[in-house]
Chain A
């Protein structure tokens, strides 16, 4: 995912000299090509995320579109007040890019588990969350990000879905709009699994089980506080929605959908179930797939 992201960013920088990529001393074997092609648009801020994020605000205030790149929690939680005060409050054009969303770096331990980031980033009024799960979603998210002038959080997982070629490839994903990923056998079914982020494979595995064989798969890759009012109509279409996210339940994507549902006049008519990570994952180390299996994620 990160390689595809950097390819798109490099391409955009060809025609936009206001793109600025800042890294927190990370990105080995990923950012080199960008750096070589556009050295004046690349800054290694060192291991100092507070300063990186504050500087990003300063650059954005001078009309740059800044991408702050790091892994897991370093460019989110470590500098959360800089994101809150310096970027979001001023509504600056900064995109926080975190690679290793969810348990991508599961073997590296709790410090590298990005499993509370939605809770943080969705609490900022101007922030849009971009959590793509497929290659075409990354393309569409990046198109939106380049077009937008507001704060963005781009959350990238480690790998693209293994069977992504079989999935729908939407040409367009609009902010706040659900995207069809895979239909179930029964086209008339009014049940769906709603994902965000790099959990498409998990949803596909879920659908293969008898219990969820009658559920379509949809994703909502672009969301945030300002798109809550768009959710009612989409929620109302369904009898049952199961949200799926590689994040803890509290403050996450499922909570967001529940909050949106609570604002609907006919609240309660759609049954919403949340599937998220077991909190005990915080104390466990292991490969992402093993951790998910061990804690029965998406079961």
Chain B
């Protein structure tokens, strides 16, 4: 499938995410929908890659640290022709490489994640490698807001800032909902911008569903000598009325009827 618009791409990412999660009776559809616009802009407008050569030396590296939302990443990669859309049917099935946490056994997935707090340190290692080899490629890592509870992220941010890793972009999917309740009621992370700035990062805040804002903030024009942090304000379950801002869609999978309604609301019938 050839899609040249990030807006259209994001609709298909959402539709396939819903379908995969529904078919597999899997979880984390809400978080998948909250990152679909970010993935669409990244893969349509920002990242340098060749789907036929997933290990292209000078490709940009992207790590999905919130690996539980991998359905959206797999859908993105399929829509960008790393593999076929039919391959997505094996999501979370016995013997499949498409496990329901991001797997490096899938073409185009840089790094397996699933336990939170692992993506950023690995991204920092890759950024160090690029810097030490004076490579032009850049590293992007997408974290969840709840994931910021993990101390390893702050260890990595300290390090990245100390070493002026301007080739590193950290995106926070700030959908304000964690596993049981809101971020605010779980472990407060505000003032988040101030925190990252205090750690020495160059921080911007954007509407994580506005493609123009996302593209502008993600563009590789970080003229600061520090890692870039983009706090993307998002809505968990974005695009599906009965899922938006509902904590239960961290777990539930849509049944047939719910899937049909959801696809109608997204505006893509598969």
A85-B118 contact, Cβ under 8 Å, with A58-B124, A90-B112:
yes
CB distance from A163 to the nearest CB of B (A): 43
* A31 at interface, CB cutoff 8 A: no
What string of 1s and 0s marks CB contacts (under 8 Å) between B104-117 and chain A?
Answer: 10000011111101
Which of A51, A82, A89 has most B Cβ within 10 Å?
A51
* B122 at interface, CB cutoff 8 A: yes
Contact B115 A51 (CB under 8 A): no
Contact B125 A58 (CB under 8 A): yes
What B residues does A89 contact at CB under 8 A?
112
Which of B112, B125, B151 has most A Cβ within 10 Å?
B125
What A residues does B115 contact at CB under 8 A?
81, 85
CB distance from A177 to the nearest CB of B (A): 32
CB distance from A70 to the nearest CB of B (A): 14
What string of 1s and 0s marks CB contacts (under 8 Å) between B130-148 and chain A?
Answer: 1011000000000000000
What B residues does A40 contact at CB under 8 A?
132
* B3 at interface, CB cutoff 8 A: no
A48-B158 contact, Cβ under 8 Å, with A54-B118, A54-B124, A61-B111:
yes
What A residues does B118 contact at CB under 8 A?
54, 81-82, 85-86
Contact B111 A45 (CB under 8 A): no
A59-B111 contact, Cβ under 8 Å, with A45-B159, A46-B159:
no
A50-B126 contact, Cβ under 8 Å, with A45-B159, A61-B110:
no
Contact A54 B152 (CB under 8 A): yes
What string of 1s and 0s marks CB contacts (under 8 Å) between A52-64 and chain B?
Answer: 0111111111111
* B121 at interface, CB cutoff 8 A: yes
What A residues does B124 contact at CB under 8 A?
51, 54-55, 58
A48-B155 contact, Cβ under 8 Å, with A61-B111, A85-B114, A86-B118:
yes
Contact B112 A58 (CB under 8 A): no
Which of A55, A81, A82 has most B Cβ within 10 Å?
A55
A58-B132 contact, Cβ under 8 Å, with A48-B159, A50-B152, A86-B118:
no
**Least CB separation from B156: chain A residue:** A51
Contact A58 B121 (CB under 8 A): yes
What A residues does B110 contact at CB under 8 A?
61
What B residues does A206 contact at CB under 8 A?
none
What A residues does B130 contact at CB under 8 A?
62
Contact B152 A58 (CB under 8 A): no
Contact A59 B129 (CB under 8 A): yes
Contact B111 A50 (CB under 8 A): no
CB distance from A100 to the nearest CB of B (A): 22
* B78 at interface, CB cutoff 8 A: no
Q: How far is the CA of A62 from the CA of B60 in the complex (A)?
A: 12
Contact A58 B122 (CB under 8 A): yes
* B128 at interface, CB cutoff 8 A: yes
Q: How many A-B residue pairs have CB under 8 A?
A: 87
* B243 at interface, CB cutoff 8 A: no
Contact A57 B114 (CB under 8 A): no
* B232 at interface, CB cutoff 8 A: no
CB distance from B34 to the nearest CB of A (A): 24
Q: How far is the CA of A61 from the CA of B121 in the complex (A)?
A: 12
Contact B156 A55 (CB under 8 A): yes
**Least CB separation from B122: chain A residue:** A58
* B123 at interface, CB cutoff 8 A: yes
* A291 at interface, CB cutoff 8 A: no
A82-B121 contact, Cβ under 8 Å, with A48-B159, A50-B155, A61-B110:
yes
What B residues does A90 contact at CB under 8 A?
104, 111-112
What B residues does A63 contact at CB under 8 A?
129
What A residues does B159 contact at CB under 8 A?
45-46, 48, 51, 55
What B residues does A53 contact at CB under 8 A?
121
What B residues does A57 contact at CB under 8 A?
111, 121-122, 125
Q: How far is the CA of A257 from the CA of B233 in the complex (A)?
A: 55
CB distance from A53 to the nearest CB of B (A): 7
What B residues does A81 contact at CB under 8 A?
115, 118
What B residues does A86 contact at CB under 8 A?
111, 118, 121-122
* A119 at interface, CB cutoff 8 A: no
What B residues does A58 contact at CB under 8 A?
111, 121-129
Q: How far is the CA of A63 from the CA of B55 in the complex (A)?
A: 12
What B residues does A64 contact at CB under 8 A?
129
CB distance from A23 to the nearest CB of B (A): 13
* A43 at interface, CB cutoff 8 A: yes
Q: How far is the CA of A295 from the CA of B196 in the complex (A)?
A: 51
**Least CB separation from B119: chain A residue:** A54
A46-B158 contact, Cβ under 8 Å, with A81-B115, A85-B114, A85-B118:
yes
Which of A60, A62, A89 has most B Cβ within 10 Å?
A62
What B residues does A46 contact at CB under 8 A?
155, 158-159
A61-B125 contact, Cβ under 8 Å, with A51-B155, A54-B118, A82-B118:
yes
In the complex, the 3 A-B pairs of residues with the closest C-beta atoms, listed nearest first: A58-B125, A54-B121, A62-B129
- Not counting A54-B156, A86-B118, a sample of 14 additional A-B residue pairs whose C-beta atoms are within 8 angstroms of each other reads A48-B159, A54-B125, A56-B125, A58-B111, A58-B121, A58-B124, A58-B126, A59-B126, A61-B125, A62-B125, A64-B129, A82-B121, A86-B122, A89-B112
CB pairs A–B below 8 angstroms (6 shown):
A46-B155, A50-B121, A54-B152, A58-B128, A81-B118, A90-B112
